[in-house]
Amino acid sequence: MDLKKLFSDARRKFEEGGLALDVAEKRLVVVGDLHGDKDTLDAVLKRWEGSKFLFLGDYVDRGIHGLEVLTAVVKLYLDDKAYVLRGNHESPLMNEDGGFIDELCLLKRIPNCGELYGEIEQMFSKMPIAARVNGEVLAVHGGIPLKEPSMEPASLEELRAVEGDLILPGDPLAYQALWNDPCECETFAPSPRGPGIWLYGKSPLERFLKREGLKAILRGHLYVSSGYAQHHGVVHTIFTSRAGPYRSVKPKIAVLDGGVLEIYDVLTGKAIHKADI
């Protein structure tokens, strides 16, 4: 397989779609962080075979099969079987220390690994950062970005209009969409993840949802040992990896069907939570 061509083809298709997608699908299987966990991805694809998928990001780093996971997800995308969002680990900022570059160059010893990674890096920079699903649900890896100094939530149109260097990404709104987390607070707080990252509370969340006409947020990013967590009643965190440091996780996926969200255990296939959106 010509991996450089695969990722180059995906880069061009991502670029056509823009940074914020509008998705219309009656039913979607939503997959959280995978981090190189090919076994769990295979289990998801087998159990929910024939479904349309939406991936929330973090395909590489920490697990040792990041290339296989990324390749499988990109193939689904190119075959129009999946929507693929960017996570904070789709970035050289993380891949240098997170393990993905070492996986390519040291573990798998891929010839010209730097050249292949350069193509992957360019593809990452064109991946969409958010998706509005059926006009009701925001899918995003991290969460709503806050505009400094007002700390008002940015709009989807502002995210859609982001330009410039998106490799890290350099833009603060794009960066926060990949990195921000919800918190059990009223307004906002600095994130322990580092400078330029925020925790968003109930008040800015409600303002954002009302202004955008949305009812809920589906996101990944946050390690959850049970595989699922709910915040402020409307923010749903999905975690789907058992790779590396996450081997004790009970991975979950979400099925969004019409106005109903069901959370499923990947290992048993059983529904463990159901909510109206």
Structure tokens at 34: 């995978």
pLDDT at 164: 83
Mapping DSSP to helix (H, G, I), strand (E, B) and coil, where does residue 165 land?
coil
pLDDT at 240: 98
- Smallest CA-to-CA distance from 234 within 201, 265, 190, 270 is with 201
pLDDT at 205: 97
Q: What is the pLDDT of residues 157-206, one digit of tens each?
A: 999 999 888 999 999 999 999 999 999 999 999 999 999 999 999 999 99
Name the pTM for this structure. Answer: 0.97
pLDDT at 1: 81
Q: Give residue 165's region: left, alpha or beta (phi > 0; psi -120 to 50).
A: beta
Question: What single-letter DSSP state applies at residue 30?
Answer: E
pLDDT higher than 90, residue 48: yes
Sorted by where each begins, the domain ranges of the chain are 3-276
- Smallest CA-to-CA distance from 70 within 110, 18, 123, 109 is with 123
- Average pLDDT score over residue span 234-254: 98
CATH number of 3-276: 3.60.21.10
**H or E element at residue 203:** helix 202-212
